[in-house]
Structures are given as structure tokens and as C-alpha cells.
């Protein structure tokens, strides 16, 4: 989603190169246009292009652009279509300032209307231009900070901004309200960077300041001055944090998605190694204390992270005998959920920046619940805002389509359930040797699935031309099928609907014919024969079936020859992991056959920072 980057060198230099590098590091988030602006000889210069950063790069190289300071942006369209006019930076009418922005200004239409009545003319459809025009209108007497304060006070919503003004040719101004924005100073060079994403700052030894609650920063060569939202000077200490660099290499794989699917034996073994001591057979979660009184649990998240929560919610309830439910964060936050101080709200988020998940977390905190974040990005907003945080340690996930984060979420959450069993229920989980045996075998089982890639690819090629699919499963295989359908939808743009297998006969079966294949998930022993019966109903109506089945269930060949055979001696708790990996490969190869842009699918973003 949108990304902000800015650069002020300690010693005068051309800022363009650093800004382009910053934009490239933000690319993985998903975006559809890019732009940058800077000051040269007291004048604002700006450049924008629809499409990839490389288009912008070509433009600035062609024009041999040199700028003394720079702000740069990747835009994911929200207000207004995909045009150069709507790309950031947005300027005021007299081109005295340029501004870039993440987030949404909820009252932008009212402000725009008022400014138009005052004679301002707008060139874009964006809420960002409203900030630029308002700021220019408020600006008087070379007093930039007071005018910025007056402007920000009028804005509703959550946002981060960075801007430059021709009267302050050596400064960048930045502010953030409920949206991440980091100021980083390089310890070696004193160069200062601004970014909405720590991943764009991972290249050097940095000291960081995180802006919160409408704080404002004025940044010029080697100097950062901070103000609170009222414009009063404040002091904030740097945080010395070592940022891990987001791997920019596909390590020989054609796409990041494929690399990340193949990372899973390792990422899963990392989860297990970090949380489970195989000598004592104890789960160790140092980050969590004071959970002894928990009486009910809510798991919240969006998209894939919600699926992980939904999947483990029934396992938590069964294992802990504690009421547990999973909810989509964007729905949860508009309810009036019953939460008490003995409620535990677990927010699951790969990026730790998903706006709806963070808003739901804040609601839970305001109602007195204990909050725990399960995230893959240290120092993300989730890390900073949740009472407790568990690092998934899945390693950087670059492809927009989440794969290894999902399986690490499941494995970590399962271990966390065991940890709660130990701490709340006082059960000696070390006695459950079968559980730990299976846990430790997961990496090998996933490797076994990956070894079937050629077979899965051949099924993908066979099914790639269908435009509609059903994905079905029962019990834990239902959330598994939801996640699998999501993978197919997002990277191949095929309509895939997930249903609990038992629900088909209550309506959707009306759609079944030879044009809509069903992908069936049979990894749940408890419901195997029932799912089989549902499949016979599909077969009777000429529906094609591709089954993901345990090896022992040879009966499946009586209704279909298209079978991906998977491990059969795994408890239902764990099956979602290998079945999901097979489904990830299937989605990947279908998208590849259809020639889609796999790592950055259209309209999607890696971190969804708008609500």
C-alpha cells in the first residue's frame, strides 16, 4: 500500500538516488504509481509516473534530475483513479509546497468544498491535494510549524505526511497520526531518512524515532526538531534498533511467492525451535506473562491472518476448554464486543500494520482486555501497541500473497495453545509425546509436499482455464479451504468460493455442473466419510473434482482420478499445514499458466494501511 520515503543528506548531495532506492524498497507493499519531489535553487521540482518505480526512474534519468532534499511516494489508489494527476506528491495551486501522504482524510470533501468556495482550484481527485491546498492557505509569515498545526487540527482520519516548502529549502516536515512514520538517522553519516516502513531503512546502521499521536518533525541537515501536535517543542530519545534487511533475492526462484513457499520447511522449524525445548518437551514463551486468569479468547485478523485465527479457534476451545472465537477485524471493531479484563484478544498480522486489525486491537485495549500480537515484523505498530507480542520469525515475506507467514501463524498459535494449557490449566504438556513428535515432523512433511510440485503443476495446468471453482472442506479443512480459495483468487483472478462441504446441499449445489470444478480438502479424519458423501453428490451432477486426500483414503479414486496424496498419519490439528502448502503450489502454478503478475497482483498491497 502507499509508502513514504524522504532523504536529507548531512552534506549536500543529490537526493534523487536515495529516494529511488527507498521507493524500490517500498515496492513490495503493492502500489500503482510513484513520484518524488525536491527543492533546487529555491524551487519545487516534482516528477510522477503511473505504474512501476522503473518508469519514474527512466523519467528522472532522462531529465538528469538533481535535488538537494527529496520526498518520494508509492501510491495505492484510494481517492481518485490511477492517473498521474492523482499520484503523489500533490502541490498547492502556487507550487509553493509539495506533500506526500499515507492514510485517509475522512472529511476531505468538506474541506475541499470550503477551499473551492474560497477560489482554490484542484487538479486531482485526491484527499492529499486537500492537505496541500489547506496548508498553503493556512501558511503565513514564514511560520510553518504553526500553520501545519492549524492544518492538521482540521483533518479527521489517520495519516502520515511528509512535505517540503520553497521557503525552507533545506527542510522536510513530517507528521503522523495513527499511521506509521519513522525518522532514521544514520550513525555513520548523519544523513536522515524518513519512511513509513522500517523495511526501507534496513540498509544502514540507524537510530530511529517513531512519530506518534500527531507529533511533527522538522528535519534539516543532521538536525531533527520535534514538536507535539500543538506545536510545542518536545524531546524524544532515539531508539537503537537493528533492523533486519528484507531479503531482496529470489534465490534462484522465478518469484518470491515460490521462494517463500519453499522456505516453509525452514520457517516452520524456526517456529518450533524458538518456542519448544525438545530436551524438556516444554513450550517456552518468554514474551507472555500474567495470562493465568484468562477466561475467554478472541482471535482477530484480516484475510489470511483471519483464516489462521479461525482455524486455530476451534483447536484452542477443544484444547483449553476456554470459550474462543475468531473475528474479522474490520467487523469486530464496529461491534460492541463483550470484553473484560480476563479476556485475551489475540491480533494476528503478518505486517503488523493492517489498519483494521490495529483499530480492533485499540478497541479491545480500551475495553480493558489483555492484548497479544502475533506478527512477523518487529517494531511494527502491532509490536508497539499490543501488551504482549510474539514474533512469528517466519523471515521476511515479500510476495503480496501470504504463504509462509500463514503456516508459521498456525504453528506458533498451536504452540501458544499448549503454553496456555501449561500455564492456565497446569497440565504437564511434556507428557504429550505424540503431539511433539508430530510437531517436529512438520518440516519433513512439508518437504514431502514440495517434492510433489511437478504433479501439482500438472493438475494446475489441467484446471487453469476454468473461471469458477468451489473449494470445500469440513471442520478444520473448511478454514483451510477458505485460505486456499483466497490464494487462487488473489493471484490468478479466478472466482473461487469456499464452502463447508456440508453446506453445499443447502443452495450452492445448484451451481454444480461440468464448468465448475471442486477442490476438495480431505485432511480431517473425523469428517472424512461425510466429505466423501458430499463429493459423490457433486460427481452425480457432473462436477469435476480435484481432491487433496490422505494416502490411506484410496476410496476417493472411485469418484476422481485427480488426487494429490498427502501424509495420512497426522492428527487433524496439524493437517492444515501440508494441505495449505499443496494449495499454495496449486494457486501459484495456475496463476503462472495464466501469465499473471504473481508477486504483485493487481489492486493488492502487502500492508493494508487503510480501513
Cβ nearer to ligand F6R, comparing 462 with 596: 596
Which among 353, 258, 235 has a CA at the least distance from the CA of 305?
A: 353
Q: Considering the rule CB under 6 A, would residue 381 count as an interface residue with ligand F6R?
A: no
Q: Stretches 113-121, 311-319, 343-351, 502-510: which one binds ligand F6R (CB under 6 A)?
A: 343-351
Do residues 44 and 164 lie in contact, with contact meaning Cβ atoms separated by under 8 Å?
yes
- Nearest-approach distance from CB 159 to ligand F6R, in angstroms: 19
- Nearest-approach distance from CB 377 to ligand F6R, in angstroms: 8
Q: Considering the rule CB under 6 A, would residue 30 count as an interface residue with ligand F6R?
A: no
- Nearest-approach distance from CB 402 to ligand F6R, in angstroms: 3
Q: Considering the rule CB under 6 A, would residue 152 count as an interface residue with ligand F6R?
A: no
Cβ nearer to ligand F6R, comparing 501 with 608: 608
Query: Who contacts 73 (Cβ-Cβ below 8 Å, separation ≥6)?
Result: 2, 3, 4, 5, 23, 34, 35, 36, 87, 88, 89, 100, 101
| DSSP 8-state secondary structure symbol assigned to residue 510 | G
DSSP state string for 329-389: HHHHTTS-----TTEEEEEEESSS--HHHHHHHHHHHHTT-EEEEEESSTTSHHHHHSSEE
358: left (phi over 0), alpha (psi -120 to 50) or beta: alpha
- Nearest-approach distance from CB 133 to ligand F6R, in angstroms: 32
User: Would you name the residues annotated as active-site residues?
Assistant: 2, 606
Choice from 138, 327, 490, 599 touching ligand F6R (CB under 6 A):
490
Cβ nearer to ligand F6R, comparing 126 with 357: 357
Which residue has its beta carbon closest to ligand F6R? Answer: 303
Q: Considering the rule CB under 6 A, would residue 371 count as an interface residue with ligand F6R?
A: no
3-state class (DSSP) for residue 590: helix
Q: Considering the rule CB under 6 A, would residue 481 count as an interface residue with ligand F6R?
A: no
Q: Considering the rule CB under 6 A, would residue 401 count as an interface residue with ligand F6R?
A: yes
Q: Stretches 56-64, 349-357, 428-436, 514-522: which one binds ligand F6R (CB under 6 A)?
A: 349-357
Distances (CA, A) of 526 to 108, 167, 556: 54, 71, 16
As a residue count, the chain comes to 611
Residue 319 and residue 494: Cα distance in Å, rounded?
37
- Can the peptide bond before residue 89 be classed as cis, meaning omega within 30 degrees of 0? yes
Q: Considering the rule CB under 6 A, would residue 500 count as an interface residue with ligand F6R?
A: no
Q: Considering the rule CB under 6 A, would residue 349 count as an interface residue with ligand F6R?
A: yes
Strand pairing of 33-40 and 69-75? antiparallel
Interface mask toward ligand F6R for 278-317; x: CB under 6 A: ------------------------xxxx------------
Cβ nearer to ligand F6R, comparing 92 with 260: 260
- Nearest-approach distance from CB 25 to ligand F6R, in angstroms: 17
Choice from 175, 351, 518, 531 touching ligand F6R (CB under 6 A):
351
Helix, strand and coil in the chain, % to nearest 5: 40, 25, 35
Q: Considering the rule CB under 6 A, would residue 354 count as an interface residue with ligand F6R?
A: yes
Interface mask toward ligand F6R for 582-611; x: CB under 6 A: -------------------------xx---
Cross-strand bridge partners of residue 91: 98
- Nearest-approach distance from CB 399 to ligand F6R, in angstroms: 8
Cβ nearer to ligand F6R, comparing 90 with 580: 580
Residue 69 and residue 42: Cα distance in Å, rounded?
11
3-state class (DSSP) for residue 314: helix
Question: What is the three-state SS of 431-486?
Answer: HCHHHHHHHHHHHHHHHHHHCCHHHHHHHHHHHCCCCEEEEEECCCHHHHHHHHHH
Residues near ligand F6R, by CB under 6 A = 302-305, 349-351, 354, 357, 401-402, 486, 490, 607-608
Amino acid at each position: 500500500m502507499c509508502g513514504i520515503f524522504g532523504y536529507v543528506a548531512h552534506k549536500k548531495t543529490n537526493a534523487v538516488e536515495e529516494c529511488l532506492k527507498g521507493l524500490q524498497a517500498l515496492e513490495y507493499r503493492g502500489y500503482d504509481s510513484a513520484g518524488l519531489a525536491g527543492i533546487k535553487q529555491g524551487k519545487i521540482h516534482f516528477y510522477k509516473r503511473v505504474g512501476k518505480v522503473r518508469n519514474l526512474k527512466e523519467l528522472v534519468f532522462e531529465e538528469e534530475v538533481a535535488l538537494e532534499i527529496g520526498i518520494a511516494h508509492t501510491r495505492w489508489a484510494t481517492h481518485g483513479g490511477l492517473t498521474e494527476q492523482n499520484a503523489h506528491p500533490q502541490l498547492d495551486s502556487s507550487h509553493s509546497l509539495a506533500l506526500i501522504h499515507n492514510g485517509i482524510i475522512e472529511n476531505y470533501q468538506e474541506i475541499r468544498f470550503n477551499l473551492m468556495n474560497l477560489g482554490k482550484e484542484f487538479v486531482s481527485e485526491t484527499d492529499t491535494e486537500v492537505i496541500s491546498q489547506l496548508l498553503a492557505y493556512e501558511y503565513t509569515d514564514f511560520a510553518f510549524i504553526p500553520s501545519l498545526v492549524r492544518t492538521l487540527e482540521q483533518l479527521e482520519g489517520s495519516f502520515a505526511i511528509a512535505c517540503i516548502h520553497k521557503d525552507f529549502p533545506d527542510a522536510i516536515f513530517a507528521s503522523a497520526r495513527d499511521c506509521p512514520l519513522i525518522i532514521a538517522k544514520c550513525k555513520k553519516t548523519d544523513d536522515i531518512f524518513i519512511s513509513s516502513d522500517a523495511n526501507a531503512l534496513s540498509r544502514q546502521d540507524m537510530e530511529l524515532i517513531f512519530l506518534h499521536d500527531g507529533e511533527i518533525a522538522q528535519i534539516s541537515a543532521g538536525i531533527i526538531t520535534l514538536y507535539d501536535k500543538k506545536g510545542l517543542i518536545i524531546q524524544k530519545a532515539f531508539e537503537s534498533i537493528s533492523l533486519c534487511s528484507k531479503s531482496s533475492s529470489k534465490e534462484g526462484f522465478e518469484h518470491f511467492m515460490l521462494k517463500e513457499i519453499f522456505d516453509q520447511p525452514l520457517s516452520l522449524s524456526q517456529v518450533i525451535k524458538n518456542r519448544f525445548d525438545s530436551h524438556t518437551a516444554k513450550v517456552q514463551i518468554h514474551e507472555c506473562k500474567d495470562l493465568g486468569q484468562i477466561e475467554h479468547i478472541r482471535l482477530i485478523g484480516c484475510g489470511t491472518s483471519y483464516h489462521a485465527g479461525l482455524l486455530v479457534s476451534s483447536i484452542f476451545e477443544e484444547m483449553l476448554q476456554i470459550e474462543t472465537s475468531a473475528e474479522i477485524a474490520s467487523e469486530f471493531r464496529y461491534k460492541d464486543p463483550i470484553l473484560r479484563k480476563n479476556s485475551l484478544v489475540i491480533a494476528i498480522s503478518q505486517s503488523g500494520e493492517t489498519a483494521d486489525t490495529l483499530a480492533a486491537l485499540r478497541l479491545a485495549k480500551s475495553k480493558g482486555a489483555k492484548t497479544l500480537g502475533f506478527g512477523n515484523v518487529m517494531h511494527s505498530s502491532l509490536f508497539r501497541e499490543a501488551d504482549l507480542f510474539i514474533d512469528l520469525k517466519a523471515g521476511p515475506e515479500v510476495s503480496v500473497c501470504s504463504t509462509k507467514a500463514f503456516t508459521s501463524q498456525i504453528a506458533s498459535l498451536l504452540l501458544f495453545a499448549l503454553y496456555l494449557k501449561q500455564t492456565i490449566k497446569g497440565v504437564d504438556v511434556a507428557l504429550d509425546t505424540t503431539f511433539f513428535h508430530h510437531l517436529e515432523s512438520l518440516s519433513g512433511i512439508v518437504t514431502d509436499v514440495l517434492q510433489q510440485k511437478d504433479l501439482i503443476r500438472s493438475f494446475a495446468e489441467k484446471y487453469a482455464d476454468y473461471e469458477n471453482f468451489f473449494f470445500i472442506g469440513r471442520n478444520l479443512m473448511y478454514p483451510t479451504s477458505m485460505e486456499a480459495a483466497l490464494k487462487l483468487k488473489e493471484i490468478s483472478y479466478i472466482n473461487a468460493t469456499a464452502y463447508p462441504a456440508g453446506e453445499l446441499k443447502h443452495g450452492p449445489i445448484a451451481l454444480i455442473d461440468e464448468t465448475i470444478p471442486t477442490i476438495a480438502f480431505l485432511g480431517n479424519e473425523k469428517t472424512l466419510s461425510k466429505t466423501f458423501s458430499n463429493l459423490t453428490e457433486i460427481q452425480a451432477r457432473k462436477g469435476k473434482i480435484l481432491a487433496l486426500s490422505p494416502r490411506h483414503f484410496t476410496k476417493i479414486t472411485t469418484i476422481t482420478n485427480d488426487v494429490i496424496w498427502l501424509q495420512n498419519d497426522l492428527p487433524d490439528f496439524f493437517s492444515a499445514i501440508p494441505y495449505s502448502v499443496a494449495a499454495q503450489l496449486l494457486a501459484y502454478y495456475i496463476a503462472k499458466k495464466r501469465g499473471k503478475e504473481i508477486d504483485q497482483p493487481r489492486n493488492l498491497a502487502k500492508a493494508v494501511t487503510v480501513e
